[in-house]
Each structure stands twice: as C-alpha cells, then as structure tokens.
C-alpha cells in the first residue's frame, strides 16, 4: 500500500508497504498515481518540498519474520530498496 501525506510543515511523506503483485496491484498503482497527481496539482509552488527524507521502518521486524538470524539483513534489504 502506498501512503502519501502532506504534512503541515510542508513535507510530503510517501510510504509504500509490501510488495504485492497481481492485477489488483496494477489498479491500485493507477489509483495512487492519479491521487499523487491530484495532490501535486493542489500544492502551490512555494509549498513543494526541495528535499526528501526517507524513514525506514519495519526492517528488523521483516528480517525476523523472514527467518533471518541476523536482523541487520533487514536493514541491508531496506537500504537496497531505497536505491
């Protein structure tokens, strides 16, 4: 799931959960793209962020649930996703 939030401090937060595949995800991606365009169009040029911050959350939980003994594997996977 993709979550887009425009915070009052002038930051745009985008969060994508899961790696679901299939037809439902394609439709969902289309809806999110349309939503993102609507949000972007509603912002004034002064309110558009000039930088982006990425907050990785859940990498340790993911590593544990995936059966990794070393939870740092989750952090490496999360960093790989960013790139």
Task: Say if residue 68 is in the same domain as residue 45.
Answer: no
Distance, CA of 35 to CA of 83 (rounded, Å): 24
Task: Say if residue 60 is in the same domain as residue 23.
Answer: no
Dmax (CA) for the chain in angstroms is 47
Distance, CA of 37 to CA of 28 (rounded, Å): 14
Task: Say if residue 2 is in the same domain as residue 28.
Answer: yes
Report the pLDDT value the prediction gives residue 38, as an integer from 0 to 100: 92
- In which residue are the tokens 């939870």 written? 71
Task: Say if residue 11 is in the same domain as residue 43.
Answer: yes
Number of folded domains in the chain? Answer: 2
pLDDT tens digits, one per residue of 10-20: 445 555 544 44
pLDDT tens digits, one per residue of 15-70: 554 444 455 678 888 999 999 999 888 888 887 778 888 777 888 898 999 898 88
Q: Which structural domain, as residue segments, surrounds residue 46?
A: 1-52
Q: What is the pTM of this model?
A: 0.37
How far is Cα of residue 75 from the mean position of the Cα atoms in its chain?
Answer: 15
């Amino acid at each position: 799931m993709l979550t887009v939030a425009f915070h009052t401090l002038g930051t745009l937060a985008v969060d994508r959960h899961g790696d679901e595949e299939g037809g439902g995800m394609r439709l969902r991606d289309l809806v999110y793209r349309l939503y993102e365009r609507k949000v972007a169009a509603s912002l004034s040029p002064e309110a558009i962020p000039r930088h982006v911050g990425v907050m990785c959350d859940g990498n340790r939980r993911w590593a544990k649930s995936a059966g990794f003994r070393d939870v740092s594997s989750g952090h490496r996977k999360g960093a790989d996703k960013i790139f």
